[in-house]
């Protein structure tokens, strides 16, 4: 070997490889290299060697490979799942959302704010307060208030304003026995 050339001799035959030329790939991008084909064959053989359960075959969408016995097993699994679904629906507790109109909004107690913040009311008669920056220009404040009024339904002032969320998820409860007396 010398100057990038590799010489192989078998019996009376000599073959010389120019390593620099042989390491270059052809410019044809659609060429099939032996490595790609070998990897494909390995994947196919590996998949064939792996034994799959009927459920795995169903989930991997290889239904055509099911035997008659496996089809019966899959059918029994489906029937069992349907029975489970029905019993689950019977056991499931569903809480109805009440569409009652919230009671008249009580006057909200406003807290003292730092000088950088101020209250703006989105509702009539000083209802639905929102805190905004005090450093906004009049135009910016007007635009912000307009957008907030447009999307008032997205803001929750009371637990009852949170549509689709049960108040039982938002309230903290401490379950105590009836005769329990708290001690400090």
149 in a structural domain: yes
Q: Among 94, 129, 145, which residue terminates a domain?
A: 94
Residues 94-120: tens digit of each pLDDT: 777 666 665 555 567 788 989 999 999
127 in a structural domain: yes
22 in a structural domain: no
Q: What global pTM score does this model have?
A: 0.35
Residues 113-146: tens digit of each pLDDT: 899 999 998 888 878 888 899 999 999 999 999 9
133 in a structural domain: yes
15 Cβ partners below 8 Å, 6+ apart? 7, 8, 9
Give per-residue burial for 17-48: e unless 16+ CB within 10 Å, then b. Answer: eeeeeeeeeeeeeeeeeeeeeeeeeeeeeeee
Q: Domain range for residue 57?
A: 51-94
114 and 90 in a common domain: no
7 in a structural domain: no
90 and 62 in a common domain: yes
Phi-psi region of 126 (alpha: psi -120 to 50; beta: other; left: phi over 0): left
Instruction: Judge whether residue 147 has pLDDT over 80.
Output: yes
The most confident of the ranges 6-15, 24-33, 40-49 is: 6-15
114 and 147 in a common domain: yes
Angstrom distances, CA of residue 154 to CA of 45, 103, 131, 163: 57, 19, 15, 9
In percent, the amount of the chain with pLDDT more than 90 equals 11
111 forms beta bridges with none
Looking at the 3D structure of the chain, how many domains does it have?
2
For residue 117, give the H/E element and its range. Answer: strand 117-121
46 in a structural domain: no
Residues 48-64: tens digit of each pLDDT: 666 666 666 666 666 66
Torsion of CA 165, 166, 169, 171, to 10 degrees: 110
Report yes or no: 135 and 114 within 8 Å, Cβ to Cβ.
no
87 and 63 in a common domain: yes
137 in a structural domain: yes
For residue 169, give the H/E element and its range. Answer: helix 167-170
Q: What is the mean pLDDT of residues 7-26?
A: 76
Q: Identify the pLDDT of residue 36.
A: 66
113 and 90 in a common domain: no
DSSP class of 126: S
77 in a structural domain: yes
Q: What are phi and psi of 132, to 5 degrees?
A: -130, 175
15 forms beta bridges with 8
């Amino acid at each position: 070997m010398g100057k990038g050339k590799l010489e192989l001799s078998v019996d009376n035959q000599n073959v010389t490889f120019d390593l620099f030329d042989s390491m270059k790939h052809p410019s044809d991008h659609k060429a099939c290299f032996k490595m790609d084909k070998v990897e494909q064959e390995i994947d196919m053989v590996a998949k064939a060697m792996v034994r799959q359960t009927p459920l795995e075959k169903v989930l991997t969408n290889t239904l055509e490979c099911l035997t008659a016995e496996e089809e019966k097993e899959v059918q029994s699994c489906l029937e069992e799942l349907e029975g489970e679904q029905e019993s689950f629906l019977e056991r499931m507790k569903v809480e109805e959302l009440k569409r009652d109109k919230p009671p008249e909004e009580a006057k909200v107690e406003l807290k003292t704010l730092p000088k950088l913040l101020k209250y703006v009311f989105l509702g009539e008669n000083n209802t639905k307060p929102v805190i905004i920056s005090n450093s906004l220009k009049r135009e910016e404040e007007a635009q912000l208030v307009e957008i907030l009024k447009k999307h008032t339904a997205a803001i929750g002032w009371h637990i009852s304003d949170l549509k689709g969320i049960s108040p039982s998820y938002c309230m903290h409860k401490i379950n105590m026995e009836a005769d329990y007396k708290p001690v400090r």
